[in-house]
Amino acid sequence: MIKDKVVLITGASSGIGAATAMLLAKKGAKLVLGARREEKLQHLVKEIESAGGTAVYQTLDVTDAEANKRIVQFAKDTFGRLDVVFLNAGLMPNSPLSELKTNEWNQMVDVNIKGVLNGIAAVLPTFKAQKSGHVITTSSVAGLKAYPGGAVYGATKWAVRDLMEVLRMESAQENSHIRTATIYPAAIRTELLETITDTESAKGMAAIYDQYQIGPDRVANVVAFAIDQPEDTNVNEFTVGPTDQP
């Protein structure tokens, strides 16, 4: 059931995070939204409220471990509990390894991997104490299939897959009733390509994405499906992308 669940979303200011917030709010969830761009979060909260939903926000940089703890506490202070965390913040500044864009490599490691770890660390004590909770992450098909230009991005998304699978196993072993789901989107129209600074990689990715039209609402549907399952049922891994994308 989605209705009345308290759901924290990182990377909620645009794309998949924002679309998921809108959908879950329509289905009666109470949303806690985190990202760095405050105006975007303010706008989204207003949009959700004017559609009859409930949402609050707190600015969040997922690379800051303490900020992750603060937003979890904010969710609990505001709504009395936290049921689901959707660790979705990410960026994809692709480039060939030979370009040595080491700052961007580090940025991807910091946001796409450490950001997810910070989120897990912030929420796990609460979920274990409650003996319930749901951790959902946005990996990528790039975490399943390598491609030139996507070495570091793919590595970060592979890492998410691995740590989520272990989280699932350990949670089950510990009988903590924590559900996990990892989502592997393919080409979804969002702001993600804007993070690419390497001209050739930007052109190459744009050429792929220009062929497809599906938006972040399709990923939101999958997140909603995972949450909506009975509490004793863990639907665990999904790919989602355009029908005609090979």
Joined together, the tokens standing for residue 184 give 């592997």
The distance of closest approach from Cβ of residue 237 to ligand NDP in the complex, given in angstroms and rounded to an integer, is 14
Decide whether 133 or 150 has the Cβ nearer to ligand NDP.
Answer: 150
Residues 6+ apart with CB under 8 A from 226: 134, 136, 179, 181, 183, 235, 238
Task: Considering only the stretches 59-67, 68-76, 93-101, 118-126, report the one whose residues sit in contact with ligand NDP under the rule CB under 6 A.
Answer: 59-67
**153 is known as an active-site residue:** yes
Among 26, 28, 47, 61, binds ligand NDP (CB under 6 A): 61
At 145, is the secondary structure helix, strand, or coil?
coil
Joined together, the tokens standing for residue 3 give 């209705």
Decide whether 232 or 244 has the Cβ nearer to ligand NDP.
Answer: 244
Please tell me the count of residues contacting ligand NDP according to CB under 6 A: 31
Measured distance CA(117)–CA(105) in Å, rounded: 17
Distance between terminal CA atoms of the chain?
34
Q: Does 182 bind ligand NDP (CB under 6 A)?
A: no
The distance of closest approach from Cβ of residue 213 to ligand NDP in the complex, given in angstroms and rounded to an integer, is 12
Task: Considering only the stretches 56-64, 75-83, 118-126, 229-237, report the one whose residues sit in contact with ligand NDP under the rule CB under 6 A.
Answer: 56-64
Beta strands, E only, 101-245? 133-138, 178-185, 237-240
Q: Which residue has the tokens 């890492």?
A: 159
Q: Which residues pair with 179 in a beta bridge?
A: 134
Measured distance CA(119)–CA(210) in Å, rounded: 33
Among 83, 216, 220, 223, binds ligand NDP (CB under 6 A): 216
Binding to ligand NDP (CB under 6 A): which residues in 92-111? 92, 111
- For ligand NDP, the binding residues (CB under 6 A) are 10-17, 35-37, 40, 60-63, 88-92, 111, 138, 140, 185, 187-188, 190-192, 216
